[in-house]
Amino acid sequence: MTTQIMTGSLPDTSPPPPVGLLAELTHRCPLRCPYCSNPLALAEQAAELTTADWARVFQEAADLGVLQLHLSGGEPAARHDLVALVRHAAQAGLYTNLITSGVMLDAARITELAEAGLDHVQLSVQDSEPNSADRIAGFPGGHARKLAFARLVTSAGLPFTLNAVVHRQNLDRLDEIVALALELGAKRLEVAHVQYYGWALLNRDHLLPTRAQLDTASDLVAHAQTLHRGRLTIDYVVPDYYATEPKPCMGGWGRQVMVVNPAGRVLPCHAAESLPGLVFDTVRDHSLAHIWTYSEAFLAYRGVAWMRGACQGCPKAEQDWGGCRCQAFALTGDANVTDPACRLSPDHHLLDVAVQRATAPIGNFTYRERAGTKKARG
Amino acid sequence: MVPQFARGHRLHQDKARKRWVILAPERVFEPDEIAVEVLLLVDGVRTVDQIVDTLAEKFAAPREAIKVDVAAMLADLHDRQVLAG
Ligand code: SF4
Ligand code: SF4
């Protein structure tokens, strides 16, 4: 299957600048989540950008108009220069958000991060029940370390968001997850349904929730949002496999966010490397401003000119931007079609088919690993 | 009363878009012009009364009217957890 990329003349005006930069500092991570959003081919440490490269990228981002920087991975704390990176970002004037699994940061380093100007921490948990959490993460003892980390973050005075990735194997404990967020003093809870590309697609049959689970969870969230108003903000979005309208993925391709991967390639979305035929520029060769305006990968699906079929001329085209390209490709093999999450897509039934197939027994995940380092399955 | 920003929230000059914004966890708020005037004076040191005095002088406006506006605005930002204390 080849992907047809929009060709034609280069833009003569610059698009409005991005508001967010997602910096994947490394793909290294001690955890092995079976839904990890990193690509199947993980970047090697030797290929990672240096401290000086990132410092330049952060300054370019701020100059371009980026407001918020999300330091992510892999596990960003696997980088020994994390404190220095936060300092560079803060000096550039960026709002810095650390997205972490929390298992590699001790009290001293958290204090250093706070002093370096870190604005906010987002901590991921795999479940509320420790054994289940550790099994899902493929990392014994991880959950207890996350709880200790959360307490250290709070005592360092940093605000934090708890991020819980939910799926069939933990959704029934959503009430406990909400209670955990409150107990740990989180100001926000993100209940994020797994998105199915890359590792998660390999594990989809183990992870897709049932309709009944989903309905219970949605009711529970609505109730908790009211009950804890002013104390805990709960973000929740209905997962695509049960949706009838697609989400404006990344706020629209090339409209809001840039992703820089560990090797310096600049992507319109963190999963964009799953799309065949796209060519990505790197920060080693070009400035972020140049890439934002001219990179072929950003031009490919920016705006509405690429749309065909149901999306073409649809009144929603400039609201949802045709949904997610990576999901369209993952489900249909064609990145140029309407996201099957849309009820107007001729492929909408594929979601039902996937839901019906997802009855694999608990266990037997394909854990995230670097090729050639296969460990025992859990 | 001394208003101050909640941790993880700050006022930021968005030069690329020629405006002021409030940066917050996973959010960006765009305050209106009056809110910006007030928030520029929120430094964790000035009291509400001092902020009102400064604005009354700057805009040569009656103090009581300013006081009502400032109080309403601070309460709103407090509700949205942008301000603490
Ligand atoms: S999803 Fe899990 S394995 Fe992937 S980077 Fe995050 S913590 Fe690590
Ligand atoms: S047809 Fe395309 S533009 Fe219209 S609602 Fe569906 S995904 Fe959105």
pLDDT in tens, A180-225: 999 999 999 999 999 988 899 889 989 999 989 999 999 999 999 9
Q: Which two tokens stand for residue A350?
A: 């594929």
Mutation pick from B5, B7, B13, B17 vs chain A, by most beta carbons of A within 10 Å, is: B7
**Among the listed residues A17, A292, A68, the one whose alpha carbon sits nearest the alpha carbon of residue B16:** A17
How far is A21 from A14, CA to CA, in rounded Å?
18
Closest-CA residue, ligand 2 atom 5, reads A316
Other beta carbons within 10 angstroms of residue A336's beta carbon come to 21
The Å distance, Cα B44 to ligand 1 centre, comes to 38
Ligand of minimum distance to the alpha carbon of A310: 2
Domain assignments of chain B as residue spans, ordered by start: 4-84
How far is B11 from B36, CA to CA, in rounded Å?
8
Q: How far is A119 from chain B (nearest CA, A)?
A: 5
Identify the helix (H) or strand (E) that includes residue A354. helix A349-357
pLDDT for residue B39 is more than 80: yes
Query: Which pLDDT does position A5 carry in this prediction?
Result: 43
Query: Is A168 within 8 Å of A214 (Cβ atoms)?
Result: no
pLDDT digits (tens, 9 = 90+) for A91-146: 999 999 999 999 999 999 999 999 999 999 999 999 999 999 999 999 999 999 99
Find the closest chain B residue to A157 by CA distance: B7
pLDDT digits (tens, 9 = 90+) for A228-271: 988 899 999 888 888 889 999 899 999 999 999 999 999 999 99
Q: How confident is the model at residue A8 (pLDDT cuts 50, 70, 90)?
A: very low
Identify the helix (H) or strand (E) that includes residue A227. helix A211-227
Average pLDDT of A357-375? 73
Average pLDDT of A47-57? 98
Q: How confident is the model at residue A2 (pLDDT cuts 50, 70, 90)?
A: very low
pLDDT digits (tens, 9 = 90+) for A285-320: 999 999 999 999 999 999 999 999 999 999 999 999
Query: Which pLDDT does position A107 carry in this prediction?
Result: 96
Share of chain A above pLDDT 70, in %: 94
Q: Tokens 């690429």 — which residue?
A: A306
DSSP reduced 3-state for A260: strand
CB contact under 8 A, B8 and A159: yes
ipTM of the complex: 0.91
Angle between the A211-227 and A174-184 helix axes, to the nearest 10 degrees? 30
Mutation pick from A120, A155, A191 vs chain B, by most beta carbons of B within 10 Å, is: A120
Query: Which pLDDT does position B81 carry in this prediction?
Result: 83
pLDDT for residue A363 is more than 70: no
DSSP reduced 3-state for A107: helix
Domain made up of B4-84: CATH architecture: Orthogonal Bundle (1.10)
Find the closest chain B residue to A119 by CA distance: B8
Identify all chain B residues contacting A190, using CB atoms and an 8 Å cutoff.
26
Ligand of minimum distance to the alpha carbon of A343: 2
Share of chain B above pLDDT 90, in %: 84
Query: Which pLDDT does position A11 carry in this prediction?
Result: 63
pLDDT for residue A355 is more than 90: no
How much is the CA Rg of chain A, to the nearest whole Å? 20
Collect all residues with Cβ–Cβ distance below 8 Å to A303 and sequence separation of at least 6: none
How far is A144 from A154, CA to CA, in rounded Å?
16
Least confident of A40-44, A373-377, B26-30, B56-60: A373-377
Average pLDDT of A31-60? 94
The Å distance, Cα A160 to ligand 1 centre, comes to 18
Runs of H (alpha helix) within B1-85: 33-39, 48-58, 63-79
Other beta carbons within 10 angstroms of residue A259's beta carbon come to 22
The verdict on whether omega for the bond into residue A251 sits within 30 degrees of 0, i.e. cis, is no
The Å distance, Cα A342 to ligand 1 centre, comes to 29
Average pLDDT of B15-30? 94
How far is A61 from A96, CA to CA, in rounded Å?
12
Q: Which two tokens stand for residue B15?
A: 């030069």
Q: Which two tokens stand for residue A61?
A: 């981002």
DSSP reduced 3-state for B44: coil
How far is A355 from A350, CA to CA, in rounded Å?
9
pLDDT for residue A374 is more than 70: no
How far is A169 from A33, CA to CA, in rounded Å?
13
How far is A212 from A203, CA to CA, in rounded Å?
20
Residues paired with residue A21 on neighbouring β-strands, in sequence order:
A69, A258
pLDDT for residue A169 is more than 60: yes
Identify the helix (H) or strand (E) that includes residue A98. strand A95-100
pLDDT for residue A1 is more than 50: no
CB contact under 8 A, A65 and B28: no
Query: Is A105 within 8 Å of A53 (Cβ atoms)?
Result: no
Strands A257-260 and A266-267: antiparallel
In terms of pTM, does the model score above 0.80?
yes
Q: Which two tokens stand for residue A40?
A: 């199947």
Identify the helix (H) or strand (E) that includes residue A145. helix A142-155
Q: Tokens 């992907």 — which residue?
A: A3
Identify which has the larger pLDDT, A66 or A362.
Answer: A66
